Amino acid sequence: MRSPAPAALGLLLLLLPPPPAEAAKKATPCKRCRELVDKFNQGMVDTAKKNFGGGNTAWEEKSLSKYESSEVRLLEITEGLCGSSDFECHSLLEEHEGHLEAWWLRLKKDFPDLFEWFCVKTLKVCCSPGTYGPDCLACQGGSQRPCSGNGHCSGDGSRQGDGSCQCHLGYQGATCSDCTDGYFSSLRNETHSVCTACDGSCKTCTGPSNKDCGQCAEGWAQEDGACVDVDECAAETPPCGDQQYCENVNGSFACEDIDECARPEKACTRQNENCYNTPGSFVCVCPEGFEDTEDACVQTQAPGGEVAEGDPTRQPSREDL
């Protein structure tokens, strides 16, 4: 049996179903429902006071009141909900068009929040904000301020997740109400907890300055009741190599290469010699057209390709004779 041609093989690969990773990206029922509601609400905005704007105001108000809750307006809204190629949107709309019509014609005044009525209470694919999971339980910290307002509740607003908190930077604890190292509590009451970053010199602190440190950060040390920078470059044993310049910076240091070629005293002492800086050192090289000797770089070729005077390979000219 002959193996398939490359072109045919490529076509077969295109026809194969997508790998599991791509399938996992499929929108959840809650997300699809929310998107449909968002488009419906936008359709209400787009059709508000449509085809009215001048003339007989009393007639317009009377006509508008009829159009505002009419089936004509509902049809205009639903016709613009789904793109021509959005199969999932069309499928969801076709399946639940009766629910949307019932809400529009009879229930809108009693349940003005379409998302809450349609996605949460009727289809039961979403939860109200601040709740999670199949039974829409309250998130850690309560549904009004999940995770104390300092984190994200797993599954918030969906029928998924476990309600645990993923805390923002600087916060920790089951309800994200405690401060991590490097932060201190600048506000705390029954409903709010605010953590503010410590001074850069502190590992732990009780306030914003370097005098409020409970423990100094690495590269800093306690001195006169405050955390001050340690000058590593002034240590008895410098942290950088002999051919490096040590620069002290806050909480640390940097080893910078010394450019020996830029110093006032020449690093390369032979005549005509070029100096090239390298990391931690330098090299001395004769330029092109010069010969390397023990004491100097001797020119062997004059500009333009002529042989320089004094070169043993130079042929005598008529003037020399």
Task: Determine the average pLDDT of the residues in 274-288.
Answer: 88
pLDDT in the model for residue 48: 84
- Using an 8 Å Cβ cutoff, are 199 and 210 in contact? yes
Which distant-in-sequence residues (6+ apart) come within 8 Å of 64 by Cβ?
A: 49, 52
The string of pLDDT tens digits covering residues 91-124 is 999 999 999 999 999 999 999 999 999 999 999 9
From start to end of 162-289, where are the E strands? Answer: 165-167, 171-172, 178-179, 183-188, 193-197, 202-205, 213-216, 220-223, 226-229, 244-249, 252-257, 274-278, 281-285
Greater pLDDT, 258 or 89: 89
From start to end of 69-160, where are the E strands? Answer: 131-132, 137-138, 151-153
Angle made by CA atoms 313, 314, 319, in degrees to the nearest 5: 155
Supply φ then ψ for residue 176, to 5 degrees.
55, 40
> How far is residue 50 CA from its own chain's centroid?
41
Task: Report strand pairing: 202-205 vs 213-216.
Answer: antiparallel
The percent of residues in the chain predicted with pLDDT above 90, rounded, is 60
pLDDT category, 154, cuts 50, 70, 90? very high
pLDDT category, 135, cuts 50, 70, 90? very high
- Helix axis angle, 71-79 relative to 87-102, nearest 10°? 160
Strand, helix or coil for residue 180: coil
pLDDT in the model for residue 97: 93
pLDDT in the model for residue 306: 57
Q: pTM for the complete prediction?
A: 0.62
Summary mean pLDDT of the chain:
84
pLDDT in the model for residue 69: 84
Task: Report strand pairing: 178-179 vs 171-172.
Answer: antiparallel
> How far is residue 259 CA from its own chain's centroid?
38
Helices marked H in the chain: 6-15, 20-23, 29-47, 57-68, 71-79, 87-102, 114-115
**Number of Cβ atoms within 10 Å of the Cβ of 172:** 18
Nearest to 175 by CA among 209, 140, 207: 140
- Using an 8 Å Cβ cutoff, are 226 and 210 in contact? yes
- 168 DSSP assignment: P
Q: Whole-angstrom Cα distance, residue 106 to residue 110?
A: 8
